Amino acid sequence: MNCRSIAPVELQNRIWLCVGFEEKDEPLGHHPHFAMLYGQRDWLKVDDLYKAALDEFAGGHDVVSRVHSECILGDAFGSSMCDCGDQLRLAMEEMEARREGVFIYLRQEGRGIGLPNKLDCLALQYGFTDGHRGPRRYSSDEANIARGFSVDHRGYTAAAKLLKALRIHSVQLITGNPEKIRDLEGEGINVSSAIDLYTQGCSARAAAEIEEKIARGYIYQR
């Protein structure tokens, strides 16, 4: 695990610690994964940010955590085609309420296929192929398959390795995705519970995508 950079950042008038990281065998250039750490200490008053980051959660049990895959349209632009932006916001609000949390942001745009391919898949969902009107619309999962991809290309071992580097023993994971739980536990991070955070009244498009997730094995308590 390579820690690329570290800095306090202010989000909604609260100070978090941002850690840029990557796996040693997967250099990510100017776009590393990053983690937002929220803890009890004042990050602006520490002398050594690296040491403070390693000490803050050391030996921690049931640390509320979120492993979040990049979704620029949902996270930054509030797209109503998915619930990614809501998941990001709700997870960070939960961590602030508990005064503790690790939010891991993985560079896995489009479930791991990248932004250009994701846009091609989104076009299919609206009935366009290579910019031209096609015969029908596709669901989210159908679009991936039609473009030659599997439904989900992601893995989560990078997140597990970061949690291990922070010396966290167990987490309460904000997720409905059993693959995240399996990957973390496969790397030795115990997932003591899964937390389901959601907003009422999501769009019909987002609701349809959630139904596809449930069909693939996602588990929600809602």
Contact in structure between 92 and 197 (CB atoms under 8 Å)? no
* pLDDT, mean of residues 199-210: 86
Q: Residue 86 pLDDT > 90, yes or no?
A: yes
- Identify whether 133 is a catalytic site residue: no
- Identify whether 152 is a catalytic site residue: yes
pLDDT band at 199 (very low <50, low <70, confident <90, very high): confident
* pLDDT, mean of residues 59-77: 98
- Angle, helices 157-165 vs 178-186, to 10°: value is 50
pLDDT band at 38 (very low <50, low <70, confident <90, very high): very high
pLDDT score for 32 = 95
Q: Residue 222 pLDDT > 80, yes or no?
A: no
Of 75, 154, 196, 216, catalytic: 154
Contact in structure between 3 and 50 (CB atoms under 8 Å)? yes
Domain 2-108+154-215 sits in CATH at 3.40.50.10990
- As a whole number of angstroms, the distance between CA 35 and CA 66 comes to 10
220 vs 136, higher pLDDT:
136
pTM, two decimals, is 0.94
pLDDT score for 16 = 98
Query: Quick one: residue 207, left, alpha or beta (phi over 0 = left, psi -120 to 50 = alpha)?
Result: alpha
pLDDT band at 128 (very low <50, low <70, confident <90, very high): very high
Q: Residue 53 pLDDT > 90, yes or no?
A: yes
Give the start-to-end residue ranges of the domains of the chain. Answer: 2-108+154-215, 115-146
Over residues 138-177, the pLDDT tens digits come to: 999 999 999 999 999 999 999 999 999 999 999 999 999 9
pLDDT score for 192 = 98
Summary mean pLDDT of the chain: 95
Of 48, 152, 167, 196, catalytic: 152
pLDDT score for 185 = 97
- As a whole number of angstroms, the distance between CA 61 and CA 78 comes to 33
- Rounded to whole angstroms, what are the CA distances from 160 to 4, 80, 98, 191, 194? 17, 29, 22, 11, 15
- As a whole number of angstroms, the distance between CA 53 and CA 32 comes to 18
